[in-house]
Structure formats: C-alpha cells, structure tokens
Structure 1
Amino acid sequence: MSPRTKEQNDAIREMRMNQIMQAAAEVYLEKGIQLEVRDVAVKAELGYGTVYHYYKNKHMLLEDLLWDALDRTESAVLPALMGDDESILKAEAFSRLLLRTCIQDSSVFILLKTVADNFHHFPGNRFSKLFGEFQNRIYLPFVEIIREGIGPQSSEKRANLIFGSLVGYAALNIHHDMRSEIDVEGIVDMIFSGIQSKERE
C-alpha cells in the first residue's frame, strides 16, 4: 500500500479537527467549562490519544473552537453588512442571519454566549484578543448600522439589547432542546418593532 500524499494527510487532518470541534461544541453545551478532552474523544468516537494529539488541553481546544466560530459568524452576517438596503433593514437582516446561524451552529452560539458572559468561566486573559476581534468584526459594524438606521443616541445600548435578546432567546430554546420551534422572523420583527415604536414616542 503506497503512503498517503501530503494532500491526503491534510484532508484527514482537517476532517479530524472538524470532527473534534463538533464534538467539543456538543459536550460544551452539556457540561460547560467542566468538559474534558476525554469527554470530547468519547463524543467524537475517537481515541483519547487521537484528540490529545491535536489538543494538549481543553483550553487550547476551546480557544480554537471560538476562533473558528468567529470566522463563521463573520461569514454568516457579511451579506447583511454588504447589502444595499437602508440601514435599519440591514440591522434586521444581520439579526436574522446571526440568530439563524446561532441556532444551526452550536459553536457560534457558544461564542456569542461566551462573549455575552465576558469569558467569565475562562482563566486569565487569554481571550482578550478574541474579544477585540469580535468587537471589530461583528459588534462594532452592527452598532454602526444601528446608528445609521435609528440615530446616534444610545446606538450601543440598542445594539446590546438586540444582541442580548437574540442570545438569550437562543439559549432558552437550545438548552430546552427546542431549536426546531424557534421563529427567527417573528423574534427579530418583535425586537425591532419594539425599538422603532419606542423611537417614535
């Protein structure tokens, strides 16, 4: 049997890492920061040594998971940021894309929930760079379209309200295994109709 090529080895490595990441997200939803590399190996149906080969400890694994989730979050909301709609419609589209991705991709939900909790369960300040990137790539562009669409007054406060509402709504449904019942359109319409009616008062 001929040895594998570099391309084949790279493809296997990528497949294994995706398998580990998906398992880690599922375990994190079940156990939170108490997860262990061994739990991830069991969930991924891989040997402990295989997972340990890629990640020496759970913090390295979670760090990779969150950085990867940041890239996927940015890709998901980019169409709304790049669209030609007026700003308030961009903000609504951004919110729908964010909530839909959050429901479909556990690692994106974990990222948003972790940012909302200010990385409370993670040791030291190893996630300060990730938080800064999240601010620059996700949060501040959203604040800007809120500012353009609704006005400069309290735009950051409104952005926080929307983010908090979306993450909280997703958390309630995900932790109670009710993802299929989430009404993305309805919840976003409700949030924005409340903000806009308050603006008109």
Structure 2
Amino acid sequence: MSPRTKEQNDAIREMRMNQIMQAAAEVYLEKGIQLEIRDVAVKAELGYGTVYHYYKNKHMLLEDLLWDALNQTESAVLSALTGDAGSLLKAESFSRLLLQKCIQDPSVFILLKTVADNFQHFPGNRFIKLFADFQERIYWPFVETVRDGIDSKSPEKTANLIFGSLVGCTALNIHHNMRNEMDVEGIVNMIFSGIQPKE
C-alpha cells in the first residue's frame, strides 16, 4: 500500500475538521461554554487524541467554529444584499435566508447568539476582530438595507430588533428540539408585518 498523497492528507484533514466543528456546534447547543474537548470527541465519534491533535483547547475550536460560521453567514445572505429587489424586500429576504441558515447550520445560530451576548462567555479579547468583521460584513450592510427600505427613526434599532427576533425564535425552537419544524416564512412575515416601508 503506497503512502497517501498531500492532497489526500489535506482532504482527510478538512473532513476531520468539519466533523469536529459540527460536533462542537451540537455540544455547544447542549452545554454552552461548559463544553469540553472530550464531549466533542464523543459526539464526533473520534478519539480524544484525534480532536486534541487539531485543537489544543476548546477556545481554539470555538474560535474556528465562529469564523467558519461568519463565512457561512455571509455566503447565505449575499444574494439578498446584492439582488435587484427593493430594500424592504432585500431585508425580508436577508432575514429569511439567515433564519434558514440557522436551522441548517447551528454554528450560524451560535455566532448570532454570541454576537448578541457580546462574547460575554469567552475569555479575553480574542474575538474583537471577529466582531469587527461581523459588523462590517453582515450587520452594517443589513442596517443600510433597513435604512433604505424601512420607515424608521433608528435603522440600527430596527436592525437589532430584527436580529434579536431571529435569534430568539431560533433559540426557542432549538432548545425545544423543534428546529426542523420552524415556520421560517411565518416568522419572517410576523416580524415584518408591523414594519412600514419607506415611501
């Protein structure tokens, strides 16, 4: 049997890291910041040493998880922010896509919840850059869409209300094991039913 090529090793590494991050997201939903590398190894059905080989501690793992979630979030909502629809429809589409992504990928929900909580459970200042990137790539483009399409004295407050509603609805459904039963369309319609378009 010949040794694996660099490409094969890279593919295995990427597959393992995805497996570990998916498991970490599920464990985080169950235990929050109290998760341990051992918990992740059990959930991923990998040896503790294998997980530890990739991540020396849970904070490194969670940092990778959140950065990956930021990239996933940006990819998910990009079409809403760059489409030809009016700004109110863009804001609705953004919210719908974001909620759908939270259901499909718990790490996106964890990112949104962590940002909403101002990273209070994470030690030190290691997430300052992540927060700044989230603001630049997700939050401010959404605020601009709100500013252009919604009659609001404070677009930031309106954007925060929408984000908070999406995070809250997702949290309720996740923590009651109803993630797959979420009525994305109904939730987005309810949130936007009281929002007045700009004339």
User: Same fold, TM exceeding 0.5?
Assistant: yes
Residue 7 of structure 1 aligns with which residue? 7
What TM-score, normalized to structure 1? Answer: 0.96
Residue 47 of structure 1 aligns with which residue? 47
Residue 69 of structure 2 aligns with which residue? 69
Residue correspondence of structure 1 range 160-199 to structure 2 within 5 A: 160-196=160-196
Unpaired runs of at least 5, structure 1: none
Q: Distance in 2 between matches of 1:20 and 1:39?
A: 11
Residue 78 of structure 1 aligns with which residue? 78
Unpaired runs of at least 5, structure 2: none
Q: Distance in 2 between matches of 1:92 and 1:43?
A: 35
Could you list the structure 1 runs, at least 4 aligned residues long, displaced by more than 6 angstroms after superposition.
none
Residue 34 of structure 1 aligns with which residue? 34
Residue 113 of structure 1 aligns with which residue? 113
1:161 partner letter: L
The alpha-carbon deviation at position 180 of structure 1 amounts to: 2.3
Q: Distance in 2 between matches of 1:8 and 1:56?
A: 23
More divergent stretch after superposition (177-186 vs 132-141): 177-186
The alpha-carbon deviation at position 104 of structure 1 amounts to: 1.2
Check whether the contact 2:152–2:158 (CA below 8 A) recurs between aligned residues: no
1:53 partner letter: H
The CA RMSD measured in Å over matched residues stands at 1.3
The 3-state SS of whatever aligns with 1:118 is coil
What TM-score, normalized to structure 2? Answer: 0.97
2:40 partner letter: V
Count of residue pairs brought into register by the alignment: 199
Q: Distance in 1 between matches of 2:36 and 2:181?
A: 31
Q: Deviations over 1:155-175 (max 9, x none)?
A: 000000000000000000011
Residue 122 of structure 2 aligns with which residue? 122
Q: Distance in 2 between matches of 1:181 and 1:16?
A: 29
2:146 partner letter: I
Q: Distance in 2 between matches of 1:31 and 1:180?
A: 20
2:184 partner letter: V
Residue 21 of structure 1 aligns with which residue? 21
Q: Deviations over 1:161-197 (max 9, x none)?
A: 0000000000000110011221111111111111228
% identity of equivalent residues:
82
